[in-house]
């Protein structure tokens, strides 16, 4: 039976279509319906992966609440508490559950990559309380997992796309991929957007990098990785959101650099209990 939603209950895309896209690009796409908020279903999925593949190399946690829940630009006392709850459950709790059951597959071989997909490679406010907490929590998830994994060869990090030209965004601006530039008439910044494939190629480049562990616990942007690894978007371009931002707004684009992360290391627990966690 086809028609299982791939990107939200109100979207026409299906997981079967996604699997077909993977296969068309040379992989082997397998569509499996899983509610990642239901631990038993996630556990069953990981057991299936162990039985059929015997290993797990890369986990990409990219589940979130959806654009309709974000309420960008609305002060928190006017935002829906129910929307916030749904966003936290869908975009944070599901990541915790999935990692809980998927990472042991990586630890069996002492090798793997966990990618938390977020919004922004900075620690600045993101325009709405629940949305801001969610996206910063995802960055913190990558960091916290990296601390627990620091004595292994499993790497956890976070990756952000730029202005993502998703199907939902295209529909929202009344355009198709073929004429996506017309969306800039609705929102000028859309001219600097990128396809979902761009951040996908970023993940692939990270997975192929033998030194990826050097990025453990950090958040990095698709445009930064494109320059470093040399990949492009589908049309051969290299969208660079930070450069566009600085040129358009005349201000430095903030990045979570070493200074921003400095207070995240060496906390009281790590000082008092340096051997935690116990494996």
Q: pLDDT digit string (tens) for 201-244?
A: 999 999 999 999 999 999 999 999 999 999 999 999 999 999 99
Distance CA 201, CA 133 (A): 27
Nearest to 123 by CA among 14, 218, 209, 202: 218
Mean pLDDT of 116-129: 96
Residue 260 burial by Cβ neighbours in a 10 Å radius (0-12, 13-18, 19+): middle
Give the model's pLDDT for residue 13: 86
pTM for the full predicted model: 0.93
Q: pLDDT digit string (tens) for 147-198?
A: 999 999 999 999 999 999 999 899 999 999 999 999 999 999 999 999 999 9
Q: What is the DSSP letter of 149?
A: T
The confidence band for 1, taking pLDDT boundaries of 50, 70 and 90, is: very low
Q: pLDDT digit string (tens) for 237-248?
A: 999 999 999 999
Domain boundaries, the chain: 56-272
- What's the CATH architecture for 56-272? 3-Layer(aba) Sandwich (3.40)
């Amino acid at each position: 039976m086809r028609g299982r939603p791939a990107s939200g209950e109100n979207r026409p895309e299906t997981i079967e279509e996604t699997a077909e896209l993977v296969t068309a690009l040379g992989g082997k796409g397998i569509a499996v319906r899983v509610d990642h908020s239901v631990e038993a279903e996630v556990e069953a999925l990981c057991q299936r992966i162990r039985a059929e593949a015997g290993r797990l190399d890369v986990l990409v946690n990219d589940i979130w609440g959806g654009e309709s829940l974000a309420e960008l630009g609305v002060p928190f006392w006017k935002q829906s508490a129910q929307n916030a709850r749904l966003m936290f459950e869908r975009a944070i709790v599901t990541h915790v559950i999935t990692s809980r059951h998927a990472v042991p597959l990586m630890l069996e071989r002492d090798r793997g990559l966990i990618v938390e997909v977020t919004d922004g490679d900075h620690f600045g406010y993101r325009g709405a309380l629940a949305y801001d907490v969610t996206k910063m929590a995802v960055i913190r998830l990558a960091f916290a997992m990296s601390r627990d994994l620091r004595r292994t060869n499993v790497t956890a990090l976070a990756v952000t796309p730029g202005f993502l030209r998703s199907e939902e965004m295209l529909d929202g601006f009344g355009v198709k991929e073929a004429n996506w530039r017309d969306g800039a008439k609705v929102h000028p910044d859309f001219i600097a957007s990128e396809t979902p494939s761009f951040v996908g190629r970023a993940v692939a480049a990270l997975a192929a990098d033998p030194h990826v562990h050097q990025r453990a616990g950090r958040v990095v942007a698709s445009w930064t990785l494109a320059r470093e690894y040399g990949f492009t978007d589908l049309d051969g371009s290299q969208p660079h959101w930070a450069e566009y931002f600085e040129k358009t707004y005349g201000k430095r684009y903030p990045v979570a650099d070493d200074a921003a992360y400095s207070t995240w290391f060496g906390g009281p627990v790590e000082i008092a209990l340096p051997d935690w966690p116990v494996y």
